[in-house]
Amino acid sequence: MIGDVGNEPGTHLIPENFERIFGEDYRTYVAEFEDFIRTNDREAVMGILPRS
Protein backbone atom coordinates (compact mmCIF):
# COMPACT_ATOMS: atom_id res chain seq x y z
CA MET A 1 0.00 0.00 0.00
CA ILE A 2 2.76 2.48 0.89
CA GLY A 3 4.26 2.02 -2.58
CA ASP A 4 1.02 3.38 -4.03
CA VAL A 5 1.55 6.81 -2.45
CA GLY A 6 4.38 7.97 -4.77
CA ASN A 7 4.00 10.11 -7.85
CA GLU A 8 3.77 8.39 -11.21
CA PRO A 9 3.25 10.08 -14.58
CA GLY A 10 -0.42 10.75 -15.17
CA THR A 11 -1.48 10.02 -11.58
CA HIS A 12 -2.29 12.02 -8.46
CA LEU A 13 0.42 13.80 -6.52
CA ILE A 14 1.70 12.34 -3.24
CA PRO A 15 -0.59 14.45 -0.98
CA GLU A 16 -3.64 13.50 -3.07
CA ASN A 17 -2.67 9.81 -3.10
CA PHE A 18 -2.07 9.84 0.65
CA GLU A 19 -5.55 11.20 1.30
CA ARG A 20 -7.11 8.78 -1.19
CA ILE A 21 -5.38 5.76 0.39
CA PHE A 22 -5.47 6.66 4.10
CA GLY A 23 -8.59 8.82 4.19
CA GLU A 24 -7.00 11.90 5.77
CA ASP A 25 -4.54 14.58 4.80
CA TYR A 26 -0.92 13.64 5.59
CA ARG A 27 -0.63 16.75 7.77
CA THR A 28 -3.19 15.22 10.15
CA TYR A 29 -1.03 12.11 10.56
CA VAL A 30 2.11 14.20 11.08
CA ALA A 31 0.38 16.31 13.76
CA GLU A 32 -0.96 13.19 15.52
CA PHE A 33 2.49 11.57 15.45
CA GLU A 34 4.19 14.68 16.81
CA ASP A 35 1.56 14.85 19.57
CA PHE A 36 2.18 11.17 20.37
CA ILE A 37 5.94 11.79 20.63
CA ARG A 38 5.46 14.84 22.89
CA THR A 39 2.86 13.33 25.24
CA ASN A 40 4.09 9.77 25.76
CA ASP A 41 6.91 8.33 27.78
CA ARG A 42 9.98 6.73 26.26
CA GLU A 43 8.62 3.19 26.65
CA ALA A 44 5.45 4.00 24.69
CA VAL A 45 7.42 5.74 21.92
CA MET A 46 9.98 2.93 21.69
CA GLY A 47 7.11 0.43 21.63
CA ILE A 48 6.16 1.46 18.10
CA LEU A 49 9.61 0.55 16.75
CA PRO A 50 10.31 -2.96 15.47
CA ARG A 51 12.47 -5.15 17.68
CA SER A 52 15.24 -7.10 16.00
Confidence of residue 4 (pLDDT cuts 50, 70, 90): low
Distance CA 15, CA 26 (A): 7
pTM for the full predicted model: 0.61
Three-state DSSP class for 22?
A: helix
pLDDT tens-digit map of 5-49:
555 555 668 888 889 999 999 999 999 999 999 999 999 999 999
Cα→Cα distances 47→31, 34, 39, Å: 19, 15, 14
Segments making up each domain of the chain, as ranges: 2-46
**pLDDT value at residue 7:** 52
